Amino acid sequence: MDFFKQVDPEKSMYRTTPQGVEFMLMKQDKQWWSRLVEQEKRPGFLKVDFDKWRDEGDSESEAEEEKAKRLEAYRQESLKKFEEEMKEEMESRAAIKYLKTWWLFAYNFFQFMGYSFIFVSCVIRYMMYHRDSFKDTWEFTGQMMMTCQLMAFLEYVHAEVGLVNSKPIFPLIQTLGRNFILFMVIYPEELMYPLPVVTYLFTTWSCIEVARYIFRFRYPFYMFNLIGKENLPAKIYKVMQWLRYSIWIPLYPLGFLLEAYCIFTAVPYYERSEKFSYQYGKYRLHYPLLMKLYLMMLAAGGTLLLKYMVRQRRRKAAVKRGKERERAAQERAAAHQHID
């Protein structure tokens, strides 16, 4: 539309109503307009709202008063619309948080039950049958271990999409490493099933996860947070916090050593069976060689993961010391005020 005179876009405004879109155009120069558009004949799509009509002879005060009323009505309606939008957004966030909470609870509970079954099965069967229990470890726990390890990829997804506050790379490294050993070293070679290292490895892996659960480590860490730490006794909460960042110190290095020993033990079997080894003309893909190369990758990945967990433990300890110093300073300040 070509207006009769220039308007000021900076001061002009508009609002959206159920009936349509209303514009309040502010003139660039304060002077009377005999019409709205540049052309003398009014376009057919324009209609006059006589409730807001003003003649040139109307007093300036009436025009200003009407203008103020319209501005106030616009502000009130904008504020109401903003409040409604904020209410809808808060309801949407609450629904998303509810779904997130129960999804993490269900996932963590499933993992805890699976690893508990593996750990209890390995321990009880060893207590009952001693070394004879090694030959049936895979039969009793292999399917459950594969299910739990495949489900563990969701930890990377949770971190990547922001469901949990952690870096995605570290759960990805751990999950890829365990799944490689499980699906590319143990599962394809049946002669590996009755070996003691498989039982020791399954026991260690499940012990890490179950211990984390009992002491509010990995899976229960989220589940107890859903309940609220204020519902736990303070001393129990502190002990569980300390164990969460300390129990990995003996378990993780043991797990890496068992993983390396499992690969070292499997190499002769794959050299004899030549599984996953292929000949392409002059070139040969020798799978046992790839397994040996993976041992070096395991050492690098394990070192990286341990350094990350050490940093996490130090950061948590530093935060705790900072809070204790702040609490002590507040207590000293309160004591000085009491003395004064």
Contact 135, 193 (CB under 8 A): yes
Provide the 10 A C-beta neighbour count for residue 326. 10
Q: In a 10 Å sphere around its CB, with 0-12 CB exposed, 13-18 middle and 19+ buried, how is residue 303 labelled?
A: exposed
How far apart CA 130 and CA 305 sit, in angstroms, is 33
Q: Name the catalytic one among 259, 270, 287, 294.
A: 259
How far apart CA 136 and CA 73 sit, in angstroms, is 79
- CA atoms within 13 Å, Cβ hemisphere of 276: 15
How far apart CA 118 and CA 127 sit, in angstroms, is 14
Terminal alpha carbon distance of the chain: 75
Tokens of 59: 């007093």
Q: Name the catalytic one among 193, 252, 269, 308.
A: 252
Contact 203, 123 (CB under 8 A): yes
20 φψ region: left (φ > 0), alpha (ψ -120 to 50), beta (else): left
How far apart CA 244 and CA 232 sit, in angstroms, is 15
How far apart CA 8 and CA 6 sit, in angstroms, is 7
Please list the residues that pair with 24 across neighbouring strands: 13
Tokens of 166: 């952690």
For residues 226, 232, 238, 241, the Cα torsion angle rounded to the nearest 10 degrees is -30
Q: Is 186 helix (H, G, I), strand (E, B) or coil?
A: helix
Verify whether residue 155 is a known catalytic residue: no
Verify whether residue 89 is a known catalytic residue: no
Please list the residues that pair with 171 across neighbouring strands: none
**Of 228, 230, 229, 208, which Cα lies nearest the Cα of 219?**
208
List the catalytic residues: 252, 259
